[in-house]
């Protein structure tokens, strides 16, 4: 594959697959690559240009694939490397690029490096991970850090009387990126997949890979204590430069996952004319409009906050760096259940789609989002497979919070909400599998919400996504226009994009009740613009504006 010559990633729309729940091809209840093959034409039909695969590698599934036991193979749950090559080939034939998940902050505790590493300090792999002696004669962990998922961030291994660091689950030991040998291994992994023909990487919690020297105690928090000592750590840029050098020998694209990122800090990594180390970043700020810090600490939805975040990222990056746009992924509950309305599912699903895809940046669409899948409701913690749900439940129990309250928070915030099997049809198990039981519960709303039904309904969310993505592809203003937010009521979000004499007006209502939208005459006369997208049939303009209906969206193009 040749060196990168253009910024083709700016024109992309990307579809994310979380393989376990996408489509089961061999009837064992688990999604797989045969399933993916059978749906490539469907994915192409959406109008996207690329697929990002959440990890497909062998994994004991402590964190469903984000604990990798072998970086250069495919999990037998999903198929074989041969089958992956076929998928890659078939995707390329259809003009779909393939983006792999690069998870290098940590491996699985089943990875052969770790198995060697824990044999003791003399083992050549020992220094691949972060091992320390305990404090107080070994009884206390090396520092006060807490993991994001499960209590302490240190696990004691009595055989060698040392602790290893895991900032996520204990089955996810952190790699010691300060060890040059580890960085060489990472480069080998990058080359392996690029040589095979993949087109890019989504880099998992990439901003965590450099830990502060001495691993000092952190500021006490209920979870992730110590994070200030590894988030955007001291050698992060330097290490990413090394990886970038390899990536740029190929026509490769990169997006880095970056918790707690701000636009100002992001520019240090993605500013286009200052030796960027990533093409774009997934920040999290816009996913905090209904919670504080974590999805489990719920607040009412705050549209004012959401708008402020969008405005900030859109204006601060414009002309300097590129945004990654998303509202769902495998770590997030379904967006309609959060920022939209299950009661107005179809209306709000379309509004949310236009709201983020019409902004400047590369849009990512998560499996099932395009048909408006919603959160599942499960009455007992035993029904939640995700380690983060289970451990958050235990943490809240230890604080003696009432069961009902805990379960309402878990139901709202669980990543499991985004991980129920994709609803393909009204058939048994939503057509996801022919097995009696899928690996995780299908949302009982599948007879109503499924791909087959959405295909048949010209007013479905699915057809709206297709229209929207086509509109983005055909109009440079959506991809390259600047961004200016208009002053409106708090529950309205309206912005104008401008490009080469054209103007695009996007109006979105986050309200069920009627809101008054008026476009200042000085902007333009709405009657002279073309209504290119909307989620209601009849669209009048009075006094250069309109009274919004529940979750209404309208997109006008002025040529
Ligand atoms: C990222 C992944 C998430 C995973 C975590 C640890 O946030 O998206 O699913 O649990 O990293 O790898
Ligand atoms: Ca299967």
Average predicted confidence (pLDDT) for the chain: 97
pLDDT band at 4 (very low <50, low <70, confident <90, very high): confident
Residues 362 and 503 in one domain: no
- Its domain, for residue 255, covers 8-105+180-467
Assess whether 321 and 389 both reside in one domain.
Answer: yes
Please write down the long-range contacts of 117-122, taking CB distance under 8 Å and 24 or more positions apart.
117/164, 117/173, 118/157, 118/159, 118/160, 118/164, 119/160, 120/159, 120/160, 121/160, 121/162
- The pLDDT value recorded for residue 293 is 87
In-domain check, residue 226:
yes
Please state which of the ranges 108-117, 367-376, 390-399 shows the lowest mean pLDDT: 390-399
Instruction: Check whether residue 286 and residue 356 sit in a common domain.
Output: yes
Q: Which residues surround ligand 2, an ion (CB under 5 A)?
A: 24, 26, 28, 30, 32
Query: At 132, which CATH number?
Result: 3.90.400.10
Best substitution site from 20, 60, 62, 66 to test ligand 1's pocket, by max atoms within 8 Å of Cβ?
66
Domain count, the chain: 3
Give CA–CA dist 113/107, Å, rounded: 9
What are the contacts of 136-142 at 24+ separation with CB within 8 A? 142/215
Active-site residue identified among 101, 162, 257, 279: 257
Q: What is the pLDDT of residue 503?
A: 98
Verify that 261 and 352 share a domain, yes or no.
Answer: yes
Query: Which residue pairs from 153-159 have beta carbons closer than 8 angstroms and sit at least 24 positions apart in sequence?
Result: 153/225, 153/226, 157/118, 159/118, 159/120
Kindly state whether residue 174 falls inside one of the protein's structural domains.
no
Q: In this structure, are 116 and 255 located in the same domain?
A: no
**What's the CA gap between 94 and 337, in Å, rounded?**
33
Residues 209 and 149 in one domain: no
pLDDT at 507 over 80: yes
Q: Among 57, 63, 166, 256, which is best to mutate for testing ligand 1, by the most ligand atoms less than 8 A from CB?
A: 63
Average pLDDT over residues 463-472: 98
Flag whether pLDDT at 112 surpasses 90.
yes
C-alpha pair distances (Å), 121 with each of 16, 108, 117, 407: 40, 19, 8, 44
- What secondary structure does DSSP assign to 103-128, as a single string? --SB--TTSHHHHHHTT-TTSTTGGG
Residue tagged active-site, from 101, 155, 204, 279: 204
Ligand 1 atom closest to the CA of 63, numbered from 1: 10
- Per the CB < 8 A criterion, the answer to whether 422 and 42 are in contact is no
For residue 467, what are the CA distances in angstroms to 10, 200, 471, 472?
Answer: 19, 26, 6, 9
How far apart are alpha carbons 367 and 347 in whole angstroms? 19
Instruction: For ligand 1, atom 9, name the residue with the nearest CA.
Output: 331
Distance of alpha carbon 158 from alpha carbon 401, whole angstroms: 34
Query: From the CA of 421, which ligand is nearest?
Result: 2
The pLDDT tens digits for 134-159 are: 999 888 999 999 999 878 999 999 99
Q: Does pLDDT of 542 surpass 70? A: yes
In a domain, 170, yes or no: no
CA of 494 to the centre of ligand 2 (A): 44
Query: Does 337 share its domain with 233?
Result: yes
Q: Give nearest CA residue, ligand 1 atom 12.
A: 66
Pair (455, 503) in one structural domain: no
Q: Which of 285, 409, 306 is nearest to 351 (CA)?
A: 306
| Confidence bin at 412 (pLDDT 50/70/90) | very high
Report yes or no on 473 lying in a domain.
no
Instruction: Please indicate, yes or no, if residue 191 is contained in any of the structural domains.
Output: yes
Q: Within this chain, do residues 351 and 397 fall inside the same structural domain, yes or no? A: yes
Mean of the pLDDT values across residues 1-6?
77
- Report the residue among 17, 111, 203, 331 best suited for mutation to probe ligand 1: largest number of ligand atoms under 8 A from its CB: 331
Section 271-290 average pLDDT: 97
Say how many Å lie between the CA of residue 64 and the centre of ligand 2: 15
Residue 175 placed within a domain = no
Cβ atoms of 373 and 443 within 8 Å: the answer is yes
Q: How far apart (Å, rounded) are the C-alpha atoms in residues 43 and 254?
A: 21
| φ and ψ at residue 353, rounded to 5 degrees | -65, -50
Residue 270 has pLDDT above 70, yes or no: yes
With a cut of 70, say whether residue 40 has pLDDT above it.
Answer: yes
Question: Is residue 257 among the annotated active site residues?
Answer: yes
Q: Which of the four pLDDT bands, split at 50, 70 and 90, describes residue 222? A: confident
74 shares its domain with 184: yes
pTM recorded for the entire structure: 0.98
Give the E-state strand segments of 47-123 in sequence order.
50-53, 97-102
What residue ranges line ligand 1, CB within 6 angstroms?
63, 66, 103, 168, 204-205, 257, 330-331
Element (H, E) at 309: helix 303-317
pLDDT higher than threshold 80 for residue 68: yes
Left, alpha or beta for 215 (phi > 0: left; psi -120 to 50: alpha)? left
Is residue 3 a part of any domain in this protein? no
According to the 3-state scheme, what is the secondary structure of 207-265?
HHCCCCCCCCCCCCCCCCCCHHHCCCCCCHHHHHHHHHHHHCCCCCEEEEECCCCCHHH
Percentage of residues in the chain having pLDDT higher than 90: 97
Query: 463 and 513: one domain?
Result: no
pLDDT given at position 1: 59
Q: Which of 467, 502, 525 is the last residue of a domain?
A: 467
* Residue 240 belongs to a domain: yes
CATH number of the domain that residue 438 is part of: 3.20.20.80
Residues 154 and 130 in one domain: yes
Q: Among 234, 316, 250, which residue's Cα sits nearest to residue 281?
A: 316
Summarize pLDDT for 326-338 with one digit per residue, the tens. Answer: 999 999 999 999 9
Q: Is the pLDDT of residue 226 over 90?
A: yes
Which numbered atom of ligand 1 lies nearest the CA of 67? 12
Q: Catalytic: 28?
A: no
Quick one: pLDDT at residue 138? 85
End residue of a domain, out of 418, 434, 467 = 467
Least reliable range by pLDDT among 44-53, 83-92, 390-399: 390-399
The token pair that represents 416 in the structure block: 């499991």
* CATH number of the domain to which 495 belongs: 2.60.40.1180
């Amino acid at each position: 594959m040749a060196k990168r010559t253009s910024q083709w990633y700016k024109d992309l729309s990307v579809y994310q697959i979380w393989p376990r729940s996408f489509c089961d091809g061999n009837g064992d209840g688990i999604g797989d690559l045969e399933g993916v093959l059978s749906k490539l034409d469907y994915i192409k039909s959406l109008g996207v240009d690329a697929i990002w695969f959440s990890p497909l590698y062998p994994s004991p599934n402590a964190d469903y694939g984000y604990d990798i036991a072998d970086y250069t193979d495919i999990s037998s749950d999903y198929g074989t490397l041969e089958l992956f090559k076929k998928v890659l080939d078939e995707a390329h034939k259809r003009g779909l690029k393939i983006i792999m998940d690069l998870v290098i902050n940590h491996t699985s505790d089943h990875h052969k490096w770790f198995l060697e590493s824990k044999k003791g300090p003399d083992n050549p792999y020992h220094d691949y991970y972060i091992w320390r002696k305990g404090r107080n004669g070994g009884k206390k962990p090396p520092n006060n850090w807490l993991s994001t998922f499960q209590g302490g961030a240190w696990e004691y291994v009595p055989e060698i009387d040392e602790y290893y660091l895991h900032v996520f689950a204990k089955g996810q030991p952190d790699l010691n990126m300060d060890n040059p040998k580890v960085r060489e291994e990472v480069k080998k992994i990058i080359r392996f997949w690029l040589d095979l023909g993949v087109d890019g990487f989504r880099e998992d919690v990439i901003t965590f890979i450099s830990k502060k020297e001495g691993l000092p105690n952190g500021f006490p928090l209920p979870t992730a204590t110590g994070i200030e000592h590894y988030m955007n750590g001291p050698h992060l840029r330097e290490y990413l430069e090394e990886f970038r050098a390899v990536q740029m020998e190929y026509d490769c694209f990169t997006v880095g996952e970056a918790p707690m990122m701000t636009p100002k800090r992001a520019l240090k990594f993605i500013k286009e004319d200052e030796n960027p180390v990533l093409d774009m970043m997934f920040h999290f700020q816009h996913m905090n409009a209904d919670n504080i810090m974590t999805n489990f600490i719920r607040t009412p939805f705050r549209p004012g906050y959401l708008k402020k975040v969008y405005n900030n990222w859109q204006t601060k990056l414009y002309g300097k760096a590129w945004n990654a746009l998303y509202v769902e992924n495998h770590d997030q509950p379904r967006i309609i259940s959060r920022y939209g309305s299950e009661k107005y599912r179809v209306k709000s699903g379309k509004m949310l789609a236009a709201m983020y895809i019409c902004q400047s940046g590369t849009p990512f669409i998560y499996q099932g989002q395009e048909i408006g899948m919603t959160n599942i409701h499960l009455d007992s913690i035993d029904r939640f497979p995700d380690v983060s749900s289970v451990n958050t439940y235990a943490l809240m129990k230890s604080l003696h919070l009432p069961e009902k309250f805990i379960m309402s928070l878990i139901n709202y915030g669980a990543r499991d909400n985004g991980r129920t099997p994709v609803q393909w049809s009204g058939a048994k198990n939503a057509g996801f599998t022919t097995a009696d039981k899928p690996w995780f519960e299908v949302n009982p709303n599948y007879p109503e919400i499924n791909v087959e039904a959405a295909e048949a309904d010209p007013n479905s969310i699915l057809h709206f996504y297709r229209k929207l993505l086509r509109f983005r592809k055909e109009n440079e203003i959506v991809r390259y226009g600047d961004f200016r937010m208009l002053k409106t009521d708090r529950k309205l979000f309206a912005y104008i994009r401008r490009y080469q004499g054209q103007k695009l007006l996007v109006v979105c209502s986050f309200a069920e009740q009627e809101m008054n939208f008026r476009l200042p005459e000085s902007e333009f006369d709405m009657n002279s613009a073309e209504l290119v997208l909307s989620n209601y049939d009849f669209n009048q303009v009075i006094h250069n504006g309109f009274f919004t209906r529940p979750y209404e969206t309208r997109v006008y193009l002025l040529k």
